Amino acid sequence: MSLSRRQFLYSLAGTAALAAWSPLASANDGPFELPPLPYPYDALEPYIDEETMQFHHDKHHAAYIKNLNTAVNKYPELTSQDAESLLRSLNDLPADIRDTVRNNGGGHINHKMFWEIMSPNGEKVPQGKIGVAIAETFGSFEEFKAVFEKSGLSKFGSGWVWLVLDQNQQLQVISTANQDSPILTGMYPIMGNDVWEHAYYLNYRNNRAEYLSQWWNVVNWTEVDRRFSGAIA
């Protein structure tokens, strides 16, 4: 028996997130809140479909917020810290919430960035300082895209592919597993693409390569340049 599109997205949520799928569950019951999408659910079509965006934001991202709030609410002294600070000091956190913060704090900041670096008016090529830096580091934008797509395609299972600024202020393409943020290893995420199946399966099925290739059509290079310029300032 085949799964409907909606059933498939529910199956990708995973058991850890099931509580947040109830209409009665409140993701924002704590210091962290689910940020609104900066555009309508259907704004990125045909490259990312409306149903994927709705479930990805309202269910998956909301689940990370709910789980992160549940963890930090156990320790009121942590509720004043932002997610980035929690991840940077992960080894200092109470052991019973460490994995939850790693997975869900990472899931929150990864997705917040993800929504912001996409736009229905995606620019075809990088502009500003990031455009210059990409050309200097990788040789050309086309060469950078090839490296980025190869890294995303070769990531086994679920994870992310990133353009990061490393500890030496150099650009690198890396991938991370699950919801791990580059912040965990002292790197700053300039941009990243979600290669979990829930990010693309309804449109592309198991063709991750096509998803990675089409994703460039919705990249908001103005925002990527803002992040890069702020990081090197």
For the segment 85-110, what is each residue's pLDDT rounded down to a tens digit? Answer: 999 999 999 999 999 999 999 999 99
Confidence class of residue 2 from pLDDT cuts 50, 70 and 90? very low
Quote the pLDDT of residue 26: 60
Q: CATH number, domain at 204? A: 3.55.40.20
197, pLDDT greater than 80? yes
Total number of domains constituting the chain: 1
* In a domain? residue 5: no
pLDDT at residue 19 greater than cutoff 50: no
For residue 225, give its domain range.
Answer: 128-232
The residues near 215 (Cβ < 8 Å, ≥ 6 apart) are 47, 48, 193
> Global pTM?
0.90
CB of 214 closer than 8 Å to CB of 124: no
Residue pointed to by tokens 């830096």: 133
> How would you label 132-165 residue by residue, b for 16+ Cβ within 10 Å and e otherwise?
ebbeeebeeeeebbebbbebbeebeebbbbbbbb
Q: What is the DSSP string of 41-101?
A: TTTTTTTS-HHHHHHIIIIIIHHHHHHHHHHHTTSGGGTTS-HHHHHHTGGGS-HHHHHHI
